Structure 1
Amino acid sequence: MSARYRPISFDRLIARLAARIAATPGRWLRVAIDGARTATDPAAVADALVDPLRVEGRAVRRVSASDYLRPASLRFERGKRDPDARYEDWLDTGALRREVLGPLAENGSGAVLPALWDRERDRAFRMDREPLPEGGVLLLEGELLLGRGLDFDLTVHLSLSASALRRRIAPDSAWALPAYLRYDAEADPVGTADVVVRMDNPAHPALLLR
């Protein structure tokens, strides 16, 4: 049976996501906004959720997975345009667990490091950990986040068909196409995410009906 998607405006999508997040109990809530960075813009979805969640009375901490990449010497060990390295080696999952997700576990400290590694200067940011009040929401946006054993309380995947991915990916990132196709095949984000949004046309998203 083929998947069924319901068209939804971007504003209504954000309102629906915010309502679901705000209604979810927990000492803290760790939410992943996952999607191919240059093709689905998960940062824009995370940004749009901040104000509605604050209106709902939930403190919000935005973290970008692109600030948790490994140093260039490790990311580019197999070359700067190796799609398998993009999938396997770029994201510092250990640091995300230690500095972001672990502190927001039920017995955690609540103190999150907003960013770790400046990929442009290839050196560590010098930032202090910032406390997230109890009841607060972490919005971690990025790509290739699922299927890595990271502890999230709610996952949102911004999905693209293979043809839309090829059409919408930035030209300078086209070399990474095999990484995204491998991710779809191995991590199955459409099958495993709590919420799936088809973003083939960003002006007209569609929500997967479960």
Structure 2
Amino acid sequence: MTSVLDLAGIFVFALSGALQGVRKRFDVVGMVVLAFFTAVGGGVMRDLFIGVQPAAFRDAEYLLVPVAATVIAFFWHPQVERAMPGVLVFDAAGLGLFCAVGTTKALDYGLAPLHAVFLGVCSAVGGGVIRDVLSGERPTLLYDRQLYAVPAMLGSTAMAVLYTLGVRGFVATLSSAVLAFAFRLLAMRYGWRAPLARGISGSM
């Protein structure tokens, strides 16, 4: 069965995808598609790398939760946007949850901590990349001056360290997720940026 934290990550990523669909003036079908692939894209990538059947193709929750998120965005998107300062907050929450859950799953399947961190980052950013491509946006991952993959890497590393030290379960997962989430929000709030190549201007 899908864990509560996994479902929470699916929901917030799906909601970010559905809200992106609203902003792009997609119809309800487009919103569902965007919500679904945003929610499960990273997890599917992780499971394929591990060599197991993707959970998104096995458990009904992986379809029902994105549909529920789409319904919420379809009818109440103005209220959702006002309640939370933009789609990026939902995205940051999903980023934190998925990097922690993805790293844990990779470690549970016997991967080395370094490889588990890589798959944790893939779990966190994969859905966002698919969302951006489908909605015609430049993938945030490829412009990490906004510090998108870096918080995921931080959370995944924290999860791997805690797991190696024997600290596992809900507390370790939630702590790692909150660390990545907080770092992402701070980066957005204060405009933290990763450096460009020497001599390259940051202006577009």
TM-score by length of 1: 0.30
Q: Which has the higher contact order (CA 8 A, sep 6+)?
A: 1
Structure with the largest fraction of helix: 2
TM-score by length of 2: 0.30
